[in-house]
Structure 1
Amino acid sequence: MNYIHHKATMDLRAFHGIDINLYPLFIAVFEQKSISKAAHILSITQSAASHALQRLRRQLQDDLFVRTSAKMQPTPLAEQIYPEIKRALITIQNISIPHQVFEPKAAQSLKIAVHDEIEPMVFPKLVAHFQQFNPEIQFSSIKLDRKNIIADLAAQQVDFVIDLEQVLGEKIKFERLIQDQFVVCTQQTEMSEHIYLASPHIGVSSRRTGVLIEDLYLSRKQLSRQIFLRCQHYSTALQVLQQYPTAMLTLPQNIVSHLQIEHTLNIFNVPVKLPHINMGMYWHKDLEENKRHRFLRNEISKIFA
């Protein structure tokens, strides 16, 4: 693509035959490796996306993408021109968008991927806050799939992911919303490090396998506990606690207020010093300057400030 940098003049008449609207589709197909996903991002039908791609192929006289193993793989020319096209579109976007003011009423929808147990902490506040701007806004709480967080954000299947803090790479941004700490729920009336570590525990996780975050922290202190039951929901764990007088459940303090705790159960601070839990929102770096996305992001930050 050196000719782009070295050519000193521009033939403005040539733009009469160029459909610039085809190039966002090129970027979407290149990044998603899928025409259907690209169509979803651009809010057009798959048929319209396929026809637009054919026009771009004719315009550039290259296949651009070849279907292999259910994915659209870029041709050598597509690989070569992708960086230049993306830079050009970002430049056009940055010139145009700053002069546009986003109207809060234009926020028609909000899609967030969130874990079942975190949903009660988040969505009532979101609904109450955003309906001030648009009473008809549509909310979607989507089951969190931790394996596909990056892909879902990149494909704009969701606007945000709200989850515990973790490193997801340079393309994914994170902002802390809530800082929490672990507490212990049990029928026992006393608590100490010895009692805590010697008692049978219930672990809660939506994952089939893997170490619970509490046990990861304990192992760093060369401590361990016995988990006799691993289940998916805290409500289930609380019911089991009623049947086992010595059993213990470790859970985030903020979740306690959204659960029905029987009077026979006691809440204690964890007698072992564990790090705070940071929960926040994730979004894709490419949407950092998007007016709608920035508005939603700022308002969510205000809710939990």
Structure 2
Amino acid sequence: MNLFHENQHLDLGFFPHIDINLYPLFIAVFEHHSMSQAADILCISQSAASHAIQRLRRQMNDDLFIRSGQKMRPTPFAEQIYPVIKTALLSLQNVLKQQYSFEPSMVGSLKIAVHDEIEPIIFPKLIQHFQTLNLDIQFLSIKLNRKTVEADLATQQIDFAIDLEQDLGAKLQFQTLVSDQFMLCTRQPNMDLKRYLASPHIGVSSRRTGVLIEDLYLNKQQLSRQIFLRCQHYSTALQILQQHADAILTIPNSILNHLEVPEHLNIFDLPISLPQMNMGMYWHQNLNGNLRHHFLKEQIKLIFA
């Protein structure tokens, strides 16, 4: 058997010369010791089965089966390759079955790419929901990388990405889960637009550079603000607010509700109208016909309905 494990390199140029239909026939003849029964199982004529076995014999350079009375007996080489071929066909069958037949118990794992700040909004609800389905699922929260997310979804390194609605790739599709709005936190006792624009601001982003989404909205109205600190986490920003009497933090309401806000900080509606933000899940369009993916997508939509 070592012969079949020595070479781990996949030679793709080899396969155009291979007729995969010959291998289920090989398995059927091997297991039933009959050409006619194998032909019946595969819904082909006995003549077609005989011609196919002849092609496989030439390909393998071995007789594969020897007639003994009414039965087809495998050669030593056929006995050697049988478990290898059957394992390969079973693996291929399992892959294809994910497209055409699916049971929730087949899920196994759920891998979601998400930013640190969004994780507390998503995962507690996610796990609570799937626990009610009594499914044995391993949950994986993976740090979202917008530069590689399209490739990660296409290769199923992740099942879904959850992020704000934006252009992450031409082949990605998006479903809104939560519509959110900005609020502001500050030690200042009151707030209006003039004070908001004149005050020092804390910006929060996981990116090193780039305009924050709230500034994009402000810029469209020919307005701007001064950011004196840009950090990665809203929890850090709330701590800085306690030390800075005039600073302002603009924060999505859904994230604000999951953080512990010190009592002496005031929360205000924004003194200017900004568009709502849509947070939702992304997936690759090539998976639209995958039953496992469809099941997971529908369950996640139910959680946030």
- Note the 1:248-267 alignment, pairs <5 A: 248-267=248-267
Residue pairs, 1:182-261, within 5 angstroms: 182-261=182-261
SS of residue in 2 equivalent to 1:189: coil
Partner secondary structure for residue 132 of structure 2: coil
**In 2, Cα distance between the equivalents of 1:124 and 1:247?**
31
Pairs aligned (count) = 226
Instruction: Identify the residue that residue 89 of structure 2 maps to in structure 1.
Output: none
Q: CA deviation at 1:178?
A: 0.3
Task: Specify the code of the residue in structure 2 equivalent to 1:232.
Answer: Q
Aligned positions of 1:28-177 closer than 5 A = 50-51=8-9, 53-54=10-11, 56-60=12-16, 100=101, 102-177=102-177
Q: Does the 8 Å CA contact 1:181/1:277 hold for their aligned counterparts?
A: yes
Provide TM-score, normalisation by structure 1: 0.70
Unaligned runs of 5+ in 2: 19-92
Deviation, 1:167, is: 2.1
For residues 106-155 of structure 1, give each alpha carbon's deviation from its aligned partner in whole angstroms, at most 9, with x where no partner exists.
Answer: 22110000000000000000001112224531000000111111111111
Give, in whole Å, the separation in 2 of the partners of 1:137 and 1:198: 50
Supply the distance in 2 between the matched residues of 1:99 and 1:217 (Cα, whole angstroms): 45
Work out whether residues 173 and 282 of structure 2, in 8 Å CA contact, stay in contact via their aligned partners in 1: yes
Distance 2:15 2:289 in 1: 30
Match of residue 25 from structure 2: none
Query: 1:113 and 1:178, CA in 2 relative to 1: closer, same or farther beyond 3 A?
Result: same
Measured after TM superposition, the shift of residue 292 of structure 1 is 0.5
Identify if the C-alpha distance between structure 1 residues 59 and 133 changes in structure 2 by more than 3 Å, giving closer, same or farther: same
- Could you tell me which runs of 5 or more consecutive residues in structure 1 were left unpaired when the two chains were aligned: 1-46, 63-91
Paired position in structure 1 for 2:22: none
**Distance across 2 between alignment mates of 1:142 and 1:204:** 20
Matches within 5 A, 1:287-302: 287-302=287-302
**Residue equivalent to 1:282:** 282
Give the 4+ runs in structure 1 shifted more than 6 A. Answer: 95-98
Residue identity matched to 2:16? L
Scaled by the length of structure 2, the TM-score of the pair is 0.70
After TM superposition, give the deviation of residue 168 of structure 1 in Å. Answer: 3.0
By how many angstroms is 1:49 displaced? 9.6
Q: In terms of Rg, which structure is larger?
A: 2
Asked if 2 retains the 8 angstrom alpha-carbon contact of 1:163 and 1:280, the reply is: yes
The 8 Å contact of residues 104 and 134 in structure 1, kept in 2 or not, is answered as no
Alpha-carbon shift at residue 104 of structure 1 (Å): 1.7
* Contact 1:237 1:249 (C-alpha < 8 Å) held by counterparts: yes
The alignment partner of 2:292 has SS state of helix
- Compared with structure 1, are the counterparts of its residues 106 and 292 closer, same or farther at alpha carbon in structure 2 (3 Å cutoff)? same
SS at match of 1:279: strand
- Secondary structure of 1:214's counterpart equals helix
Distance 2:6 2:296 in 1: 29
Report the Cα offset of residue 182 of structure 1.
Answer: 0.3
